Amino acid sequence: MKKTALLIAALTCATVSLAAAGVSGAASDGGSKATAGTLTGAGATFPFPLISKWIPAYDQASGTQVNYSPIGSGGGIAAITARTVDFGASDAPLSPDQFTACKGCVQIPWALSATAVIYNIPGAPQGLRLTPALIAQMYLGSVTKWNAPGIKKLNPGVNLPDLKITPVYRSDGSGTSYNFTDFLTKTSPTWKDKVGTGTSVSWPTGVGARGSAGVTGVVTRTDGGITYADVAYALTNKLKFARVQNQAKKFTLPGLRSINAAASSVGKVTGNGEISIVNPAKSQPLAYPISTFTYALAPTASPKADELRKFIYWAITSGQKFGPALLFAPLPKQVLAFDYKQIKKIQAST
Amino acid sequence: MTTTAHDQAPAGLEGGRLPWRVGDLVFYALTAAASLATVGLVVWLSYKVVAQASGAIQKFGLSFIWTVAWDPVKQNFGALDFIYGTALTAFIALLIATPVSIAIALFLTELTPRWIRGPVGTLVELLAAIPSVILGLWGILVFGPWIAQHLEPFLERRLGFIPIFSGDPSQAGMLPAALVLTLMIVPITSSLCRELFSRVPRDLSDGALALGATRWETIRGVSIPYAGPGIVAAVLLGLGRAFGEAIAVTQVIGAGSGFPTSLFEPADTLASRIASEYQGAVSGLQIDSILYLAAILLVISLITNVAAQAVVRRFERSRGKIA
């Protein structure tokens, strides 16, 4: 009993160091080709529903066993930088610093989906209309009631109650937060100044919770709550989400068509492969403005280069057919063309 | 004591019972290795945490401790919000847990017939067996919403003039966190207090009763003074538990920042911030800063624990003088 406090302190720290080592521990033999037919990956939770469909299908198609731990984008970047996994995955593109740290990594956009803006207002219907400016003001704490004139004007005929708006955000580092804050940064100068874009940011107001389940859990139990999560999650859990105004001043729901429209704004993909399809130009009137690519991260020198190339190639070609059911839109041609070039850069390490 | 043990060993050797001696040595080596390994682990672990935090320690220095900032985008970090959250939630938890624990312990040792003691005592201690992640889930699904819908509106109606009970009810905030912590501390402190009260010499309390004291006067005049320093130590151990709890707190505190004056508002503790951000940290400086938080937590916990041990030692010494 005397040691309880000490033990807890020790455990807290042990967890911290384990988190670092655990990523590596789980897959420490990743680099030493333990079995010929296995690949180990870790990273973003956002593409996990899709990846978990890929794993058995790819096993059947090729005999290669893929293991994937959905530990979050940040964890994925850390793991591939330390080369403790064969591939990483992240929703947030690597920053230039992270690219340098990763020493010869390629970033391959391999899936495409959207972030839904979820709300809980008793009596309000699905598809409430919101502008980027209003969403930013809610998360900045300057619009605080659901019956604010701005919201009422956009939604005539909807009975909006005099209810406090409770913005809910992800307390863990998350690619979904990256996508959402990127959208706010690109649409609201105040947001850009005060907060900015990141997998975790300094939220000016609201309540934090862990994971998509955490944030939507708080929102479903808090009248007046608003949050964001990937659209597949919102749909499977029958949550109400908003129509968000795009640059063409149209209000769109996240769905395959509107995600595709956003993705078709992509020109030729160059450089590191970072693609932002957030708030696309008004030439895409159907586009849902909070859409995002999610990336596979692979080393250019890998002991399992052959398997890795095959798996990623399969994922961006045959693997895409599993997407639509989970609201992942198929990759556009320009992106595929870029991906083929990137995949070729993965070479066997000597 | 040691001399007799020492005398016996050669005697065993002369008797030709060598296997015993080897067994003893092995046993000694094993126990020594276990304790040394534990001591070594604590030292190595503390060193490692501080070493890993060195990036943030160099960049922000000691001012990290009194800086209010946690902005991964602008790469500006400080710990004061979380120290505040840790201290406040733990303090409130103790404020509630201490009298409750003492009451439970008194009830079980002095006021109940023996046949009730066993089952009730076991049930209270079973509370400690609930994994914190489950308490946290219960906090999210049941307790938090109940607090937001009933307890907080009630507190606001009756005590809303005090700033800490004002504001909008929320299912995630400092009050739910403090109450979940209370639930985690009560089994520990109450079982320690129970142990302390059961050690109060029977003659002392019987004497007081014989002199015409009421049961309450006996408890106040004999049991509590006798067990006092032990109770302080028990409370300190509970405090250590409250400081270090991460998972359950993360689930109910709402990951806020700043210095909310109302208990209804979200805040964050050191442990909970470490648990929620470590895995997703993207920059080296953010990871270092999280480890800096871990180092601060480690120091606070060690101090609490050493304080508890010091109190116990003083208590035992003064007891020795009496005897």
Give the model confidence (pLDDT) of B288-317 as tens digits.
Answer: 999 999 999 999 998 998 988 888 888 777
Instruction: List the single residue in A8, A14, A207 with the smallest CB-CB distance to B45.
Output: A14
B128/A contact by beta carbon, under 8 A: no
The whole-angstrom separation of Cα B184 and Cα B178 is 10
Kindly determine whether residue B301 and residue A8, on different chains, have CB atoms separated by under 8 Å: yes
pLDDT for B319? 65
Is the predicted ipTM greater than 0.90, yes or no?
Answer: no
For chain A, 350 residues long, give each residue's pLDDT as a single digit of tens.
444 444 444 444 444 444 444 333 333 333 433 345 899 999 888 898 899 999 999 999 898 999 998 888 888 888 898 899 999 999 888 888 888 888 889 999 999 999 999 999 998 999 999 999 999 999 999 999 999 999 999 999 899 999 999 999 998 888 899 999 999 999 999 999 999 998 889 999 999 998 888 899 889 988 999 999 989 889 888 999 999 999 999 999 999 999 999 998 888 888 888 888 999 988 889 999 999 999 999 999 888 888 999 999 999 999 999 999 989 999 999 899 999 999 999 988 86
The alpha carbon of residue A283 is apart from the nearest alpha carbon of chain B, in Å, by 31
For helices B174-198 and B224-244, angle between their N-to-C axes, nearest 10 degrees: 140
> Residue A73: its pLDDT value, please?
82
Instruction: Report the alpha-carbon distance of residue B314 to residue A294 in Å, rounded.
Output: 61
C-alpha count within 13 angstroms, C-beta hemisphere, residue A232: 17
Selection from B114, B112, B172, B127 nearest residue B147 by Cα: B172
Q: B146: which chain A residues are within 8 Å (Cβ-Cβ)?
A: none
Query: B140 and A14 in contact by Cβ < 8 A?
Result: no
**DSSP of B287-316:** HHHHHHHHHHHHHHHHHHHHHHHHHHHHHH
A203 and B148 within 8 Å at the Cβ level: the answer is: no
Given phi > 0 = left and psi -120 to 50 = alpha, else beta, which region is A155?
beta
Give the amino acid at A41: G
What DSSP state is assigned to residue B212? Answer: T
Q: Please check whether residue B169 is in contact with residue B156, taking contact to mean a CB–CB distance below 8 angstroms.
A: yes
Does A71 lie at the interface with B, CB-CB under 8 angstroms? yes
Give CA–CA dist B56/A38, Å, rounded.
Answer: 38
Q: Max alpha carbon distance in chain A (Å)?
A: 68
CB pairs under 8 A between A and B: 178
Q: Do B271 and A12 touch (CB under 8 A)?
A: yes
Residue-wise DSSP of B31-45: HHHHHHHHHHHHHHH
Nearest-Cα distance to chain B for A284, in Å, is: 30
Interval B120-177: pLDDT, tens = 888 888 888 888 888 888 988 899 989 998 999 999 999 989 888 988 888 889 999 9
Backbone angles phi, psi at B109, to 5 degrees: -95, -35
pLDDT for B95: 94
Residue A145 in tokens: 């009631």
The stretch B16-44 carries a mean pLDDT of 85
Q: Print the SS3 string covering A195-226.
A: CCCCCCCCCCCCEEECHHHHHHHHHHHCCCEE
Tokens of B177: 């966190």
User: Are the beta carbons of B301 and A8 closer than 8 angstroms?
Assistant: yes
A residues 5-64 closer than 8 Å to B (CB)? 5-6, 8-17, 19
Task: Report the number of secondary-structure helices (H) and strands (E) in chain B.
Answer: 15, 2
| Distance, C-alpha A92 to centroid of its chain | 7
CA dist A303 and B65 (Å) reads 44
- The answer to whether B129 faces chain A, any CB pair under 8 Å, is no
Residue with tokens 């960049």: B59
Which pLDDT score, from 0 to 100, does residue A254 have?
94
CA distance A289 to chain B (A): 22
Range 152-211 of A in CB contact (< 8 A) with B:
164, 166, 169, 171-174, 195-203, 206-210
Residue of B73, B285, B288, B316 to mutate, testing the A interface (most A Cβ within 10 Å of its Cβ): B73
Q: How far apart are CA A220 and CA A243, in angstroms?
A: 19
Closest-CA distance of chain A to residue B115, Å = 26
The per-residue pLDDT for A103 is: 87
DSSP structure string for A100-156: HHHSSEEEEEEEEEEEEEEEE-TTPPSS-EE-HHHHHHHHHTS--BTT-HHHHHHST
- Distance separating alpha carbons of residues A107 and A114, to the nearest angstrom: 19
SS3 A168: strand
pLDDT in tens, B255-296: 888 888 889 999 999 999 998 888 777 778 888 999 999 999
Instruction: Assess contact for B272 and B253: CB atoms under 8 A.
Output: yes
Task: Mark which residues 151-180 of B lie under 8 Å from A by CB.
Answer: 168, 170-173
For residues A77 and A90, give the distance between their C-alpha atoms in angstroms, rounded to a whole number: 7
